[in-house]
Copies of this chain bind each other. A is one copy, B any other.
Amino acid sequence: MRKLGELEGVALGIVLKRQPCTAYAVRIELKASPSSHWRASAGAIYPLLSRLEHEGLIQATNDNSDGRGRRHLSITREGKKALKAWIKAIANPDRLSEIFDPLRSRMFFLGALGHQEQIALAESVLEALDLNLENSQQYVRQNPASGDFFEHLGAIGGVMNAESRIKFLREALTQIRRHKT
């Protein structure tokens, strides 16, 4: 059984949670989730789900109740097995450290800016991060502990990450101010 890619895992997971649902719904959910790496373009989602269907990880039933030719997706036994394997693969330290954070990438090169520019940028990013935190907190409220437990956990993770980034940038800003070229 083939290993799933990152977007494949996420998409398959969404199918499991929302089944029976359309490919469109999967796409919207991906877009809606805050701080996502994925743009969830149609050109990615539809071929991806076709692939998963072709491999027997999801199945589709045609819904002819209206003229839109909706196709309702659900996960198969094989699909759930593949999803579980995908989830468990995170225990691999290499997979675990495949993080991507455009803010931290840029910190390494902040020295390319002048001292005033550094401070101005850090301050404006700090504002953006505050908005970011508010969005994450709102997402938690939209997914309370009373609803889907793991959706709630993931949302909490988003808040903690946002807080961590703010803490980091505040610390960085303090040190930059002290630094003076």
Q: Which residues of A contact B (CB under 8 A)?
A: 6, 9-10, 13, 16-17, 34-37, 80, 83-84, 86-88, 90-93, 95-113, 117, 121, 124-125, 128-129, 131-132, 135, 148-151, 153-154, 156-158, 160-161, 163-164, 167-168, 171-172, 175-176, 179
Cα–Cα, bound, A163→B171 (Å): 15
B161 touching A111, Cβ below 8 Å: no
The A contact surface, by secondary structure, is helix
Min CB distance, A88 to chain B, in Å?
Answer: 6
Question: What are the residues of chain B within 8 A of A97 when measuring CB–CB?
Answer: 34-36, 132, 135
Question: What are the residues of chain B within 8 A of A163 when measuring CB–CB?
Answer: 164
Question: What are the residues of chain B within 8 A of A13 when measuring CB–CB?
Answer: 106, 108-109, 112
Give 8 closest A-B pairs by Cβ, nearest first.
A13-B109, A164-B164, A37-B100, A100-B100, A108-B154, A35-B97, A107-B154, A111-B150
Question: What are the residues of chain B within 8 A of A113 when measuring CB–CB?
Answer: 84, 87-88
**How many copies altogether?**
2
Question: What are the residues of chain B within 8 A of A172 when measuring CB–CB?
Answer: 153, 156-157
A–B pairs, 26, beta carbons within 8 Å: A9-B105, A9-B106, A10-B108, A13-B112, A35-B98, A35-B99, A36-B97, A37-B99, A84-B112, A88-B117, A88-B121, A91-B121, A91-B124, A93-B132, A96-B103, A96-B129, A96-B132, A97-B132, A99-B99, A99-B102, A104-B161, A107-B153, A108-B151, A153-B176, A156-B171, A157-B168
B90 touching A121, Cβ below 8 Å: yes
Known: A125-B90, A132-B96, A160-B168. A83 touches B112 (CB 8 A): yes
